[in-house]
Amino acid sequence: MSKKETNNIKCVDYSRDHNETIPIYNYVRGPNTLTFQENTDVILERVLEVPSSQAIWYPWGIAFRSVFWYRVFAIFVHVIPGALLDIGFVIKGNSPMLINIYRKIDKYMIAMKYFTGFNWNFDNRNCMSLYQSLTPEDKEIFYFDSNSYDWRDYLRNSVDGARIYIFKESPDTIPAGKSRLMK
């Protein structure tokens, strides 16, 4: 949870009358929102700037509206190449791994379909009204204005964090990743 989100929660609790109905406070993007495609573009741009030294393919993506066409695509781009490479691993005496990785990716992609396949509109007026009701001093201490949030920077930092904490790659492997990407 970010400092802004924590500050928002503290202010919500402080501001409400404990006998009233609890209003909904959506701490979400303001008017500077990015589209799904813009999110994808920012993430892909950052992945190309700090590529994984473990990457097998050049990073790219296509958005599908249909699960059927996604599955057809996945067979030709993930399953068949992954199975062939896994056969090569077994021949060399190593354990197969790509099909298992692609199963996880596929499971994630199908789970995300519901959330990425629709436009979601969340009202952040309560949250912004709460922020506007703070004194200037409180705004400095409990800053949480989501309208000024730099979502591109957030996405870039998310890629960096995933690289370090999920894929366990330190920043000193970036040159090796770039070298691998150019092959």
Q: Per the confidence metrics, is the pTM higher than 0.85?
A: no
Model confidence over 76-113: pLDDT tens digits? 999 999 999 999 999 999 999 899 888 888 888 888 88
Residue 16's pLDDT band, with cuts at 50, 70 and 90, is: low
Read off the DSSP letter of residue 167: S
Judge whether residue 19 has pLDDT over 60.
no
pLDDT of 31 reads 66
pLDDT of 17 reads 64
- Other Cβ atoms less than 10 A from the Cβ of 47: the count is 20
The whole-chain average pLDDT of the chain stands at 86
Q: Please, what sign has the CA dihedral across residues 129, 132, 138, 142?
A: positive
